[in-house]
Structure 1
């Protein structure tokens, strides 16, 4: 897109109570801030103006000239299913996010904020690998009920980012390797990456697969039916329990991941037992994805905030290292991943995709 050597990119990651922003010069972070949300309006779309003004004011107060920005990138939200890559934000995308075509989530604001800020500066805005990336093979979507199909909703941004990082370590490109990536966080998603595409992955958003910090994971059908029938809970209450109040939260009576890490450091007996069960389930999911890739696996990745727990990693590695070498990328690099995806387009190494409504 340009012969410039240095590109300045603003990246935006909206969270429930704050907006994380950073400014990158190529892939070097020159400024980062977590801007607390002062206007706690219940509807996320009513927060757009407040969040946007706070971002702009923060950059101006820093002394940076807004006109020095070359692009703005926001975290992608719940759009229609799309293939992976960097997408130019257009009006079709904004309308789908506003109409909640695939659901409502604070990440929906990422593209909207980036689009509005970029338009005022007459520059391009992008999203990179949103959670709705769908590259699953048709056979992977099939279930035992013809009327039910599996969905691809997962930590696409961090999974693809770490897979690309691993490819560099192996002196290859992402499109040349087969990788299994396990993102371990509030949700757990394990993806089979075959030569640049995630051909199978569990839907961690709905709680399919291993249990996580707050999700129940897959459950025995009959017991789940009995729970929904006899627990006197509404559909909403049941979903809240399974998606937000299960997993480590339910077992250990904790509210934050840091509490889990503290319990492990203290060698709390119950915490260690539950973490071992979690590791067992994640290892099983990795084994399933090894079968998907027919045993042709160049590496296994453990990433996400809970991958900072060595005890968890060790128990997973013990069960899966026979498949392939295991690489750990603790935490998640959301802001850097957004900047890198944008940079690839600005440098002409990747073509920006157009969001289309089919």
Structure 2
């Protein structure tokens, strides 16, 4: 019997754009990156106020391109704005939408994804879901402890793309994600390096709060005393926050977040560009080594993904540092839309159970401290 080819519409809202794509099974039959002008977004007082605007813009683009969503089996969206959850596919329900609308966990357009999926579901039928949201937190308790009592590490990772790459690698090997220990280095605008132990992301650097290697726009680890010195200087809090996530890393050193431009500087003879870029790669290699220690050296593969993994120099240099640990699989680019579709299809084809969002975080400081008797 021929397996059903599912029709899935995927939605990924970002700060200034909304990505959409329609899939027939694994085949992407339509995709559009809808840009939103700052002047359009400025009329809205809150992110929630953008919902109807983004919904109408999507419908307009679909109509202009004669894309019919009749018969769509699933509307799969980027998550965000929920409490911490296990990885997987979650059906959109009232509690999930309530938490996203409240803004209590994050203020980001990603929180509109599930709400948009629900609006399209009401119009066309099918299911509405989110897949491996940014709020996925599967850390072990030991990975959360810091040197300050009451301050804990949390999981802020490129969960959607990372888990999709692991699933693809496992499928290529004729195995399952839960069979393998994999280190994934997502190297793009942000850099997250994660230890996946038998299908669970047990440790990683927190890309939202300044951990890990420096990235094109982020500072990564710096000595705490140096940060204190910056805080005591004339640099204000807003400027420091910008440095942490927008103007640090390659931007701070070289004035650009584009690795291709950095490569051009190096080719033009800039010794400073060369040592900064080499330091960027070196720090990623160190983080991969740290995650190998987390897995106690039992590493089945290392995946390099994200846009900068297209750079042969980056891949070759990383290989010279960490190639001894395990086989390196280069899977460049980001596959977020494909991952959203694949997650929905796994659920509809019975390969994965859909989960229910309860609003109860999988980890909290209060629960942990009670369990530890603190």
Sort the TM-score into its range (normalised by shorter chain).
over 0.9
Go from structure 1 to structure 2 and tell me whether the alpha carbon gap of 1:4 and 1:61 turns closer, same or farther (over 3 Å shift).
farther
Give the Cα separation in 1 of the matches to 2:132 and 2:340.
8
Give the Cα separation in 2 of the matches to 1:145 and 1:282.
25
Matches within 5 A, 1:196-207: 196-207=199-210
What TM-score do you get using the length of structure 2 for normalisation? 0.91
Q: CA offsets per residue over residues 92-136 of structure 1, 9 Å max, x none?
A: 111111111221112112112111221222321111001111111
* Residue pair 1:10, 1:24 contacting (<8 A) in 2 also: yes
Give the Cα separation in 1 of the matches to 2:76 and 2:225.
44
- Unaligned runs of 5+ residues in structure 2 are 361-374
Go from structure 1 to structure 2 and tell me whether the alpha carbon gap of 1:227 and 1:92 turns closer, same or farther (over 3 Å shift).
same
Once the two structures are TM-superposed, the CA of residue 79 in structure 1 deviates from its matched residue by 1.5
Q: Residue 198 of structure 1: SS of its match in structure 2? A: strand
Q: Does 1:12 find its partner at 2:14?
A: no
Once the two structures are TM-superposed, the CA of residue 265 in structure 1 deviates from its matched residue by 6.0
Give the Cα separation in 1 of the matches to 2:310 and 2:107.
29
Q: Does 1:343 find its partner at 2:353?
A: no
Give the Cα separation in 2 of the matches to 1:106 and 1:97.
10
* Residue pair 2:72, 2:125 contacting (<8 A) in 1 also: no
- 2:367 aligns with none
Give the Cα separation in 2 of the matches to 1:62 and 1:153.
36
* Residue pair 1:84, 1:134 contacting (<8 A) in 2 also: yes
Matches within 5 A, 1:246-285: 246-263=248-265, 268-285=270-287
Q: Does 1:40 find its partner at 2:41?
A: yes
- Unaligned runs of 5+ residues in structure 1 are none
* Residue pair 2:73, 2:125 contacting (<8 A) in 1 also: no
- 2:134 aligns with 131
State which of 113, 118, 123 in structure 2 corresponds to 1:120: 123
Give the Cα separation in 2 of the matches to 1:207 and 1:184.
15
Q: CA offsets per residue over residues 319-358 of structure 1, 9 Å max, x none?
A: 1011101111111011001000011011111111101122
In terms of mean alpha carbon deviation, does 159-168 or 40-49 score higher? 40-49
State which of 180, 184, 209 in structure 1 corresponds to 2:183: 180
* Residue pair 1:261, 1:309 contacting (<8 A) in 2 also: no
* Residue pair 2:216, 2:257 contacting (<8 A) in 1 also: no
- 2:368 aligns with none
* Residue pair 1:182, 1:189 contacting (<8 A) in 2 also: yes
Go from structure 1 to structure 2 and tell me whether the alpha carbon gap of 1:256 and 1:113 turns closer, same or farther (over 3 Å shift).
farther
Once the two structures are TM-superposed, the CA of residue 163 in structure 1 deviates from its matched residue by 0.9
What TM-score do you get using the length of structure 1 for normalisation? 0.95
Once the two structures are TM-superposed, the CA of residue 313 in structure 1 deviates from its matched residue by 1.7
* Residue pair 1:213, 1:248 contacting (<8 A) in 2 also: yes
Q: Residue 105 of structure 2: SS of its match in structure 1? A: coil
